Amino acid sequence: MNKNRVKGHELGEVTCPTGFNWTNLKAELRAIWESSIKAWKIELAYPVSFLRQSVSPLIILLPFLIYGMVLVGGRYSENLERMVGTGDVVTFIFTGYVIMGFIGTAVWAMGFSIRGEQWFGTLESIFVTPTSRLSLVLGMALHSTVHQSIGTAVEFAIIYAVFGLGLKIGGILPALGIFVLMMLALYGFGILVSALSLVLKEGWIVAEGLHSIMMILSPVVYPLVVLPTVAQQASAIFPTAPALVGMRVFLIENYQPEVIGNIFLHLLALDAAWILFGILVFHLTDIYVRKKGSLEKY
């Protein structure tokens, strides 16, 4: 060994903050933020794809609205009014559609963020840093949530201008409270899907299945009462059903929920359950793929 060599660090010395302390928490939050910014930069590097993603939600929404209006022969449905107190098909569908977008955020965008890193070839590079894996997933979740929120705001402006929406402005704040609780549970769900996509390389099949199940069991374009009793009961395990009912209570005039319960408590319980379950599965999956040596394989 070269005797003139400069002495480096002491053994056991690390330069990155670790452990449970404010400095480390701040660093993790910054990693979440920077992961989100990184995802934006990559997304904007593909302008055509970005444009398609910005326009397609509106294009998907229009057939729902037109189909609904054609079926009921106008904007107001007496049948819908009998079931939920409001007959405004457009407002009913639009509020459901907003949530449908966020289901996609959790299942597809967030669930596949890790898979995306596998495709880029960068998964090992980011997993070998001291940043928590969950922070990496949450960073990508932040990006997709902001993306979806901007899209929703644009949709809202266009639908409001073209069709008009019968919304109670005063209900926006409590509806946002419900929305935040729903998103927390959906994040837990997204963490679960991202874990599954690490193990099952064809994770989109699982994601598609889960997305479809959640769509069927959520009152997006129809009220829950039209579903069989078993399906109505099963819908309680997904945050979207109580959240949609709750948000419509606050947002739509004369809306009478078909399922009355303590929505806030229900959502809080789902938050805890989905987040803990998602993290547990993610942790176990991480160990499994590192044992199996399949982290970088796609």
Partner 1 sequence: MDYTEDDGTYSIQTFDLTKRFTKKKHRGIFGFLRKERKQRKQQSESSRVTVALDHINIKIRSGELFGLLGPNGAGKTTLVKCLSTILIPDKGTAVVNGFDIRKQTSMVRASLGLVIGGERTLYWKLTARDNLMYFASLYKMPRNQAKERVEELLEKMQLSDRADERLEDYSTGMRQKIAIARSLLHDPSILLLDEPTLGLDPTFSKQIRGQIRELSDKHGKTILLTTHYMDEADQLCDRVAFINDGKVVAVDDPDSLKATVKETELVEITCFNPPLDVERHLKSLCPGVDIITLVHGDETKGNPSKIKIIGGNAEEHISTAIDALRKKNVRISSLNVGVPTLEDVFIKLTGAKLAEGEGRG
Decide: is 47 part of the binding site for partner 1 (CB under 8 A). Answer: no
Q: Which residue has the tokens 């060599």?
A: 5
What is d(CA 141, CA 160) in angstroms, rounded to the nearest whole number?
28
Please report, as residue ranges, which positions from 269 to 288 form the binding site for partner 1 (by CB under 8 A). 287
* Interface mask toward partner 1 for 92-131; x: CB under 8 A: ----------------------------xxx-xxxxxxxx
- Site for partner 1 (CB under 8 A): how many residues? 48
What is d(CA 278, CA 185) in angstroms, rounded to the nearest whole number?
9
Are the beta carbons of 211 and 101 closer than 8 angstroms?
no
Pick between residue 168 and residue 283 the one whose CB is nearest to partner 1: 283
| Stretch binding partner 1 (CB under 8 A), from 20-28, 77-85, 91-99, 237-245 | 20-28
User: What would the two tokens of residue 179 be?
Assistant: 């929305």
Decide: is 208 part of the binding site for partner 1 (CB under 8 A). Answer: no
What is d(CA 88, CA 76) in angstroms, rounded to the nearest whole number?
5
Exactly one of 63, 73, 228, 293 binds partner 1 (CB under 8 A); which one? 293
Decide: is 166 part of the binding site for partner 1 (CB under 8 A). Answer: no
Decide: is 160 part of the binding site for partner 1 (CB under 8 A). Answer: no
- How remote is the C-alpha of 223 from its chain's centroid? 22
Give me the half-sphere count of Cα atoms (radius 13 Å) on the Cβ side of residue 270: 26
Decide: is 297 part of the binding site for partner 1 (CB under 8 A). Answer: no
Cβ neighbours of residue 24 closer than 8 Å, sequence gap 6 or more: 17, 18
Binding site for partner 1 (CB under 8 A): 1-2, 4-9, 11-18, 24, 27-28, 30-31, 33-35, 37-38, 41-42, 45-46, 120-122, 124-131, 136, 287, 290-291, 293, 295-296
